């Protein structure tokens, strides 16, 4: 198959980007496609013996069907769970998009599909002059938007759609993830977004305490996802 990659972004932090990314990796793996996840920048780490690890990175690694060096799939790991550029500055680290791109190309040589999970929302700063949208544009990947369904998500989703288009990137699709179990208008919000987002809805994840990648994979639409993956501008040669 052609090489394919997607950049996963969200309407905010904590909207389910990692869950969706892991589910997408699992979906490709179920089809026998060599797939890996990449989390270029992660903030928030825990001790594992002599090493520092990040829960999101470990979740992506658990679904991949090829093994790659941790430093390649997660080039930048900061200990404090805060905005990446703030955490990096506090630790004397400069996040370099050139290095991230080299790591991405290395993963692409080993895998047929790469799911790249961004940090926070689409325009989160990575250093003094580079934001997450700059990284997505540099990698030239179609974007999948995870919309955390809660009050305010319609505005956030439509602004993010404009930002993606403004960078000249294709919005390959979006996934609704209900993150507020007490939101009475979740269905109405999703219906409103379906009218207004100019991209296919790839999945609808209802609120479920303990939702994992296996459950989420079953709620994705594989037919629509396959169409998105096979589109000309989703391929990377």
pLDDT in tens, the chain (237 residues): 678 899 999 999 999 999 999 999 999 999 999 999 999 999 999 988 888 999 999 999 999 999 999 999 999 999 999 999 999 999 999 999 999 999 999 999 999 999 999 999 999 999 999 999 999 999 999 999 999 999 999 999 999 999 999 999 999 999 999 999 999 999 999 999 999 999 999 999 999 999 999 999 999 988 776 666 555 444 433
pTM: 0.94
Domain that holds residue 67: 4-234
pLDDT of residue 233: 47
User: How long, in residues, is the chain?
Assistant: 237
Pick the closest to residue 198 from 158, 150, 234, 232 (CA basis): 158
Q: CA-CA distance, 174 to 186, in Å (whole number)?
A: 16
pLDDT of residue 231: 55
pLDDT value at position 2? 78
pLDDT the model gives residue 234: 44
Residue from 3, 17, 34, 39 carrying the catalytic annotation: 39
Number of domains comprising the chain: 1
- Which two structure tokens, joined as six digits, stand for 220? 């994705």
State how far the alpha carbon of 140 is from the alpha carbons of 27, 135, 237, in Å.
22, 8, 12
pLDDT of residue 236: 38
Active site residue 17: no
Torsion sign, CA atoms 148, 152, 157, 160:
negative
Question: Which residues, other chains included, contact 166 with Cβ-Cβ below 8 Å and sequence gap of 6+?
Answer: none
Beta strands in the chain (DSSP E): 4-10, 35-38, 41-43, 46-48, 51-53, 76-78, 113-121, 143-149, 171-178, 201-205
What CATH code is carried by the domain that includes residue 138?
A: 3.40.50.300
């Amino acid at each position: 198959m052609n090489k394919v990659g997607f950049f996963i972004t969200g309407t905010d932090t904590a909207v389910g980007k990692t869950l969706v990314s892991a589910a997408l990796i699992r979906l490709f793996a179920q089809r026998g496609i060599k797939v890996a996840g990449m989390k270029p920048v992660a903030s928030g780490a825990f001790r594992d013996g002599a090493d520092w690890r990040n829960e999101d990175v470990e979740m992506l690694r658990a679904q991949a069907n090829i093994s790659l060096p941790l430093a390649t799939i997660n080039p930048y790991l900061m200990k404090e769970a805060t905005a990446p550029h703030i955490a990096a500055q506090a630790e004397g680290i400069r996040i370099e998009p050139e290095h991230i791109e080299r790591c991405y190309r290395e993963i692409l040589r080993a895998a047929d599909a790469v799911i790249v999970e961004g940090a926070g929302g689409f325009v989160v700063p990575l250093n003094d002059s580079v934001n997450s949208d700059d990284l997505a544009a540099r990698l030239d990947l179609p974007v999948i938007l995870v919309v955390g369904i809660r009050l305010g998500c319609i505005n956030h989703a439509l602004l993010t759609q404009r930002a993606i288009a403004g960078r000249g990137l294709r919005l390959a699709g979006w996934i609704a993830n209900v993150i507020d179990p007490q939101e009475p208008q979740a269905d109405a919000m999703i219906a409103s977004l379906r009218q207004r987002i100019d991209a296919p809805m790839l999945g609808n994840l209802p609120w479920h305490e303990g939702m994992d990648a296996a459950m989420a994979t079953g709620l994705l639409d594989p037919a629509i996802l396959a169409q998105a993956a096979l589109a000309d501008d989703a391929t990377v040669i």
